[in-house]
A and B are shown apart, each in its own frame.
Chain A
Amino acid sequence: MSEKHIDELSGVETTGHEWDGIQELNNPMPRWWLWTFYATIVWALAYTIAYPAWPMLRSATTGVLGYSSRADVQADLTAAEDAKSAYVEAVKSKSVDEIMADENLRQFATAAGSAAFKVNCIQCHGSGAQGSPGFPNLNDDEWLWGGKVDQIYQTISHGVRFAGDEETHVSEMPAFAEVLEPQQINEVAAYVASLAGTADTPDLVRAGAKVFADNCAACHGENAKGNKELGAPDLTDAIFLYASGQNAIAQQVRHPKHGVMPAWGSRLGDVKVKELAVFVYSLGGGE
């Protein structure tokens, strides 16, 4: 390969390879291409010095610029925290009623509460806060413990029948299977069902009214409208926590179920609970 092959037609040196009379010209690389290539080599070397690159036994070189993607993320997170810190401070120092009165703060708290709700609450109350039997629907206007925003705040903060919190809401309906005769239970169930228009046996209603007045009115009220102080539900409306209908009511009278909700104040902190209260209130059923 020492001798030079020159292509006659173009005057360009060939590589000396030939296939069926076709020769390959040995044109030089275009200069711009070469210089770009050299530049990328220099760039690559500089990059490995400036940025984390070379793997070592336990870690990797950190680079002279000290860049790290984690520090970047942390900086972003800190910036985000700083950006909303003024709002968070305001939420911390104001009562839920004051937050409700401040349009901007209310919107901030609603958005923040919505996020917190998705993490902490949807497991029981559902992703649309629509609830399920035993777990109240938070969209409607029926509230066991009150639907004013400060009452909602109180409920979220201290929970319901939650053992670890002294201020938790406590109420316990007795199991009337041990107090009333089965017939009496059927009668009172028929009466309660009739209040919502779902009674199966209308002939029992009149007798049931007497049983109700003697045993139930103390908590649920003489007109069965309930008592939020005691967490006693309104029995006259269209909303039942467990199930509607005479049989379900009779079951609940015999052996009441008692749901538990944790006290979130100690878990999430006061700010998050306020935000949650404002968000729940915004679902449209608040009083």
Chain B
Amino acid sequence: MLDDTEVERLEVEAVNSAKTRQPLYTARKKVFPKRASGRFRQFKWLIMAITLGIYYLTPWIRWDRGPYAPDQAVLLDIANRRFYFFAIEIWPQEFYYVAGLLVMAGIGLFLVTSTVGRAWCGYTCPQTVWVDLFLVVERGIEGDRNARIKLDAAPMSASKLAKRVAKHAVWLVIAVATGGAWIFYFADAPTLLADFVTGHAEPVAYITVAILTATTYLFGGLMREQVCTYMCPWPRIQAAMLDENSLTVTYNDWRGEPRSRHAKKAAAEGLTVGDCVDCNACVAVCPMGIDIRDGQQLECITCALCIDACDSVMDKIGKERGLISYATLADYQSNMAIATDPATKTIDPKRVRDDKGKLSAAIAHFRLSRIFRPRTFVYAAAWSLIGIALLFALLSRDRLEVNVLQDRNPQYVRLSDGSIRNGYTVKLLNMVPQPRNFELSIEGLAGANMSVVGLDQPESRSITTEVEADKLKTIRVYVRQPLENLAEGQSFKFVVVDKAGSERASYVAKFNVPETGR
């Protein structure tokens, strides 16, 4: 066990500290986050690998759909107005599935935030992930915090220039790859990559890559924490999402205060000292440049790196971990009530410990039961209901549709034998990636027959037509009813049947006749 005086003490002042808050128009003070290590850092590496992996690799996954559809697993084919997602193919009129997913994502964010706080910000937000990635590069080339501060302050030299050029070059490569990956979701990835490299891709591809390269480089490399603090609306909205039972990264001042750099000496002098040795490790690792010990604040994205930093210090000096921890406001307040001396209204860390110096049983950092409360149940229920509804709609949706537009000008045509003819524009939607033969027939309307423009065959009650894979076919259909069967207000059905399968669709249409008796 180390003496607390042997803990490395860092000269650092939080850039965004409450005490030294700067006017908004002052130039930005750089943040030099120190490398942290621990369980949360490990977890963040894992999340980073998964999210970046999904983003960069998804367009390259192949999915065989036969000869009539692209073989890219995830493809937003805007030119042909089709959206492919593995086995699912969506036509524009089915885009409500995507809308439903967005609603689910929104409610999911409410659910996550109300339970584990700003987990989105701390772990999965692209800004956080890419800043983390850019910091890895920066640390690899320029060294950790102290080296970077020194380099930043040093006058320009050959080695500084080399480091800077190398860093920005790697950043730009990452930025180009980021913008480049985006466009592959909109076209066949291998073809587009070849076209892109040889200069044959559409201008929009280059423009998109240029814009995303610029935003990635600017946001991830240069602006970093300012994006979260000043540009992003989510930190402000989340105040409505959090309540006293939501997890936040909390400095447990009920056991940390009064903090002391010379705890042993102070204890020897009979002074009250908390667990915090004021080593500033939590401040040094913070990518947002804040001091978590100032309490809850807007800038905190709950990345939990200060927890890792503090835990390793607590390990060194032989104290329990969790001086900084995930805690709910409710738990924090009950702990605080125990720690506060009712007489002096000051924190006395001795009150939370038993005779042997262990934390007393009444102390709890986080109770799992806090997650299960009406609010989270409502969110979870709404989220699941939408999900089930979408799934049901997806599994039961039609892949064959028929739409009919009746001619209005003229509404009907009288033919020489006195029969009446109506014209219809029939649209057959074959929504699978194979060509299919459909039988179109009329149901009802006694004695009526139909003929199709361009189809050289006698009038009949049904015709067969092939519709190309994944295409809509428009045909002009004339339906003629003989004089003796004419009556006002008749309706009938156009029925379409897949000859090879069992799918069937129908459309109820009206048959117009001249008005009589006027």
User: Taking beta carbons and an 8 Å cutoff, which residues of A are in contact with B?
Assistant: 10, 27, 30, 103, 106-107, 126-130, 137, 139-142, 234, 237-239, 282, 284-285
Tally chain B residues at the interface, Cβ within 8 Å: 20
Does B444 sit within 8 A of A, measured CB to CB?
A: no
CA A129 – CA B421 in complex, angstroms? 14
CA A174 – CA B396 in complex, angstroms? 70
Interface residue stretch chosen among B35-43, B246-254, B409-417: B409-417
B414: contacting residue among A10, A103, A129, A238, CB under 8 A: A238
Distance in angstroms from B131 CB to nearest chain A CB is 21
CA A10 – CA B453 in complex, angstroms? 82
CA A103 – CA B473 in complex, angstroms? 14
Q: Is the CB of B476 within 8 A of A237?
A: no
A–B complex contacts, Cβ < 8 Å, 8 sampled: A30-B25, A130-B409, A139-B421, A237-B416, A238-B416, A238-B483, A284-B421, A285-B415
Given contacts A128-B407, A128-B409, A284-B478, contact A238 B421 (CB under 8 A): no
CA A130 – CA B25 in complex, angstroms? 73
Q: Is the CB of A282 within 8 A of B415?
A: no
Given contacts A130-B409, A139-B410, contact A239 B478 (CB under 8 A): no
Q: Is the CB of A239 within 8 A of B416?
A: yes
Q: Is the CB of A237 within 8 A of B421?
A: no
Distance in angstroms from B252 CB to nearest chain A CB is 36
Does B423 sit within 8 A of A, measured CB to CB?
A: yes
Q: Is the CB of A103 within 8 A of B454?
A: yes
Distance in angstroms from A30 CB to nearest chain B CB is 6
CA A94 – CA B91 in complex, angstroms? 39
Which of chain A's residues have a CB closer than 8 A to the CB of B25?
Answer: 27, 30
Q: Is the CB of B416 within 8 A of A234?
A: yes
Which of chain A's residues have a CB closer than 8 A to the CB of B458?
Answer: none
A142: contacting residue among B410, B416, B421, B423, CB under 8 A: B416
Which of chain A's residues have a CB closer than 8 A to the CB of B417?
Answer: 237-238
Give 1 or 0 for each of B230-246: 1 = CB within 8 Å of chain A CB: 00000000000000000
Give 1 or 0 for each of B389-427: 1 = CB within 8 Å of chain A CB: 000000000000000000111100111111001010000
The secondary structure that dominates the B interface is loop
Which of chain A's residues have a CB closer than 8 A to the CB of B408?
Answer: 128
The 3 lowest CB-CB distance pairs between A and B, nearest first, are A128-B409, A237-B416, A130-B410
Given contacts A10-B23, A127-B409, A128-B407, contact A141 B416 (CB under 8 A): yes
Residue of A nearest to B419 (CB): A238
Question: Which residue, of B407, B415, B421, has the highest number of chain A Cβ atoms within 10 A?
Answer: B415
CA A30 – CA B26 in complex, angstroms? 10
CA A200 – CA B417 in complex, angstroms? 20
CA A142 – CA B418 in complex, angstroms? 11
Distance in angstroms from A105 CB to nearest chain B CB is 11
Which of chain B's residues have a CB closer than 8 A to the CB of A10?
Answer: 23
CA A239 – CA B421 in complex, angstroms? 13
Q: Is the CB of A284 within 8 A of B453?
A: yes
Starting from the known contacts A106-B454, A137-B413, A142-B416, 20 additional A-B residue pairs (CB-CB under 8 Å) come to A10-B23, A103-B454, A107-B454, A126-B410, A128-B409, A128-B410, A130-B410, A130-B413, A137-B410, A139-B423, A140-B414, A237-B417, A238-B418, A239-B415, A282-B453, A282-B454, A284-B453, A284-B476, A284-B478, A285-B413
Give 1 or 0 for each of B7-24: 1 = CB within 8 Å of chain A CB: 000000000000000010
Instruction: Tell me the B55-75 residues at the A interface (CB within 8 Å).
Output: none
Q: Is the CB of A284 within 8 A of B414?
A: no
Q: Is the CB of A139 within 8 A of B454?
A: no
Residue of B nearest to A284 (CB): B478
